[in-house]
Chains A and B, each alone.
Chain A
Amino acid sequence: MLLAPLALLMGAPPANAVVLCLAQADQTGCVTGTVGNRANPVEGVDVSLLDADGVEVDSLTTEADGKFSFQVTEAGDYFVSVGELPDGLEVRPPAERFQGPDGSIMVTVALGGSVSPDLNVRSVDFDAGGDSFGDQIIQSIAQGLRLGLLLALASVGLSLIYGTTGLSNFAHAEQVTLGGMVAYGLCNVAGINLWVGIVLTTLICGFSGFLQDFVMWKPLRKRGLGLTQMMIVTIGLSLAAQYAFQFFVGASQQKVVVRNFDVVELGPIRLTGMSFVAMGVALVAIGIVGYVLLYTRVGQATRAVSDNPALAAASGIDVDKIIRMVWVVAAGLAGLGGVFYALVVSNGIRWDTGMQILLLLFAAVTLGGLGTAFGAFVGAIIIGLVVELAGPLGAPGDLKYAVALVILIVLLMVRPQGLLGRAARVG
């Protein structure tokens, strides 16, 4: 049911520039890859595939997504050769065992499988490092706050769901992706104004939360399905949703809006103007949620349900209504977070964008103490800062995500109930 709005929006799948190679057992093998990376693909590069004797088998020019894909019918060693790159970029020399003649990269193809060459593009002045260390740190802190606030949008909802229903929702990341996808459909494909698109996206995502609770979670609660089983249902939902995104949108990165945003400089901090907008919106949204939780009757009721659903029900609170509202708010916030994440952090949306940050969301929620919304906010900010600071402080590549997880594990050893949680009663 998640897909209903998507299917409407997308209509036909967008024509893929590069025909995806699909390996068939015993018949064909594929060589696929991307020039640049997902976040920064390089367009207009000639890529060719040479066989073991150096004879060209196939060649193509990359499109906006930087992808290339070749199909071969014989297993064996091949070489991928990359043509002229735009100014300022160069191919990082591959590991020795993959080095082919004339800077080409060796790949070993087996029939029925797909391989990617060890192709990495970097900027020519990659190690010149223009900024001073202090400036880098400040820049990273700014980026960390940005990431943290966007994570908070999603993790507060995740935490509210956990608090009120006890459910660890593994499909929450797909709510984030859904936000980006819907915005891509509205703003990029249908050409609606970005701001209108963001509002609409939030509403649509919120509605998806409502629909989910109505069609699935509420009936399951009524059936008395165990929490572990429910959690596995969310895993199934997450899997189905991810591949459904691929089904409708394809496997490549899509931009929400085509144009780039201007960079604003504040001292040593360089972020796009949109980043500041995103941070502002996130703060306001979370502020509103916080206000509602603390100072309104609905908020009180929500906290009561989190504390003890049976007692809350007994004291006249409509628990189902509260939970439905939590789902709507959680899905809406996640969608909003997804749009901004696609706009300012990941430079587009892909079927697995949400999955990439799922662990960060869980880390944030756990760090703060499972089920406390404010804990989730604090946790998200910490995780955001850790992730962005890990890079300049020496963690290479994707390991910056790992650093956040290591911190989580260490914290659990010291303070099992999280930063703001409390221990439960035995007996």
Chain B
Amino acid sequence: MDTILSILNATLREAIAPNTAAVAIAVIGLNIHFGFTGLLNIGQAGYMLLGAYGMAISITYDIPLLFAVLIGFVVSFVFSLILGLPTLKLRGDYLAIVTISAAEIVRYSGRLAAFEDFTGGSQGIFGKDYQGPFISLSFLGSGRLTLLEFNYTDVADGARWVQVLGLIALIGAIVGAVLLLRSLKSAGGAVLAPMSSTVRSALVAVALVLGAILTVVVPAYADRDTATDIFSRVVAFVIFTSIMLAVLFGGQAAFAAWKTAKGRKAVLAGVLILFAVLAIFFTFPKTYDRTGVDGWWVRMIAWFIVGLSCAVVFLLVRSPWGRLLRGVREDEDAMRSLGKNVFAIKMQALIIGGMFGSLGGMVYVLTGTVQADSMGRSLTFFAYTALLLGGAATIFGPVLGTIIFFSARILIREASGAYIPDAIMTNSQTEQFSYVVVGVGLMLLVIFRPQGILGNKRELRFNV
């Protein structure tokens, strides 16, 4: 039992790691490319690398963080233009070949001794050279923080059975939520009713006020020792307001949905998911620095950006613009015959998805170094696996897919390390074995469940 719990613990650590969030952001971008528009971009890691270089190099030249991030975006924008101009008029295969080539060119160039002054050559740029501005934005204070503060150790002195019970509750909640969601899916149709504009404005106003209050209160509570600068306040305000917006709109939607039987099911599923998250952290509490280079601060920001990205993608793809993307994915010539500028649409999609890619890259390097080889082809392939696992052309599929992908790999590695004797598989072989399983998993996934976890099976009946 102990082994199982420690394996699960390691799995969870990976699931909430900042790098997982970073890749999730890049996968969200890839979803815009591949899932919605059908662009075969096999160079997403190149976008990540460029975003990371753009930000990190700017910061080493004392450019403020905000502008450094913007520079990262601009670099990826230019990269999209360079990739798109020659290829977007051509057949899809060419984009695939050009993107993968271009990503490799970026990687080779980054490693080049000639650019060592900027990119640090094959060693890369060390985190300590660019992490400062980001860390100093933190309003979480110093010291360490355990999530949840109330956890299994507080019940019956942390006896084993408490943890086992937590695990059972967790599994129960997840199974329940999945069953509910499945029954919803087969029912089809929308659950949400449109919201009146007065309600909407009222909710936004409340969220702003609550956000402002929290901005003042939380840093004080967190016992922040350094002087809080204005940017830190702004960041805190944005984060708190967004969270409040999500809570209020979510609550309102739940309240409205409660009136129908189907809506009640959906709300119940949501509650179960929340409960599952609590159960996870109750059973496997995690302790990190509040701020630090690898603490809660970077985790919080990373996952916050993931949430924000999902919201943006949702707003984008439910609009007529999103419809254009799907139209291009289905048939470019048909879209041309309807007077749509296919090239421009594809270019826009490439740029937007690429920006998410570079944002992912920036988050990816927050805890480590900007090292060219860490964002190579295999990372792109992982991104595809994660995307297909979660379900292409869905909103949450990329996030779910990435979390499952990374945790499953750790699960496989740890489990085979723990249960397979060294004579059969050495420690380093378990690492490789986990990747083999990932590769084979990708194949099986595409063959047997091409729509992924959240995808729509109905959509896939028509091969184009």
Contacts and interface: CB of A to CB of B under 8 A. Distances in A.
Are chains A and B touching directly in their complex (CB below 8 angstroms)?
Answer: yes
Interface of A: 13, 20, 22, 25, 95, 98, 108, 110, 113, 115-116, 118, 168, 220, 223-226, 228-229, 231-233, 235-244, 246-247, 251, 355, 359, 362-363, 366, 370, 396-399, 401-402, 405-406, 408-410, 412-413, 416, 424, 426-427
A259 B447 CA distance: 45
A188 to B, nearest CB: 21
Interface residues of B, number: 63
Interface string B413-455: 0000000000000111101110110111111011100100000
B98 A409 contact: yes
Most chain-A Cβ atoms within 10 A of its Cβ — which of B38, B333, B431? B431
Contacts of A408: 97-98, 101
Contacts of B426: 13
Contacts of B87: 409, 412
Given A113-B368, A401-B108, A409-B102, A220 B447 contact: yes
Contacts of A226: 463-464
A115 to B, nearest CB: 8
9 contacts: A223-B447, A226-B464, A228-B40, A233-B442, A237-B443, A239-B442, A396-B113, A402-B109, A412-B98
A237 B113 CA distance: 33
A235 B382 CA distance: 10
A13 B122 CA distance: 30
**B-side binding surface: helix, strand, loop or mixed?**
helix
B440 A427 contact: no
A58 B204 CA distance: 61
B176 to A, nearest CB: 32
Contacts of B109: 399, 402
A397 B108 contact: yes
A95 B116 contact: yes
B112 interface: yes
A149 B92 CA distance: 28
Contacts of B333: 426-427
A247 B416 CA distance: 13
B439 A416 contact: no
B427 A240 contact: no
Contact of A118 (B121, B368, B433): B121
Nearest to B443: A236
B206 interface: no
B168 interface: no
A115 B102 CA distance: 26
A402 B443 contact: no
Contact of B446 (A229, A244, A246): A229
Contacts of B433: 243, 247
Interface in B85-143: 85-87, 89-94, 96-98, 100-102, 104-105, 108-109, 111-114, 116, 120-123, 126, 128
Contacts of B104: 359, 401-402, 405
A224 B447 CA distance: 10
Given A359-B100, A405-B105, A232 B388 contact: yes
B381 A239 contact: yes
A416 B450 CA distance: 31
Contacts of A426: 333
Contact of B123 (A98, A241, A398): A98
B86 A412 contact: yes
Nearest to A355: B377
A226 B388 CA distance: 14
Contacts of B435: 239-240, 242-243
Contacts of A229: 446-447, 450
Nearest to B87: A412
A393 to B, nearest CB: 15
Nearest to B86: A413
Closest 8 CB pairs of A and B: A240-B439, A236-B442, A239-B439, A243-B435, A405-B101, A236-B443, A413-B86, A402-B105
B286 interface: no
Nearest to A424: B91
Given A362-B97, A412-B98, A426-B333, A239 B464 contact: no
B384 A232 contact: yes
A397 B111 CA distance: 9
Contacts of B38: 228
B37 interface: no
B198 to A, nearest CB: 46
B100 to A, nearest CB: 7
B13 interface: yes
Contacts of B441: 236
A242 to B, nearest CB: 8
Given A20-B428, A118-B121, 20 more contacts: A13-B426, A95-B120, A118-B123, A226-B464, A236-B445, A239-B378, A239-B438, A241-B439, A242-B439, A244-B432, A247-B433, A362-B101, A396-B112, A397-B113, A402-B108, A405-B101, A405-B104, A408-B97, A409-B101, A412-B90
Nearest to A117: B123
A224 B441 CA distance: 20
B385 interface: yes
B112 A398 contact: yes
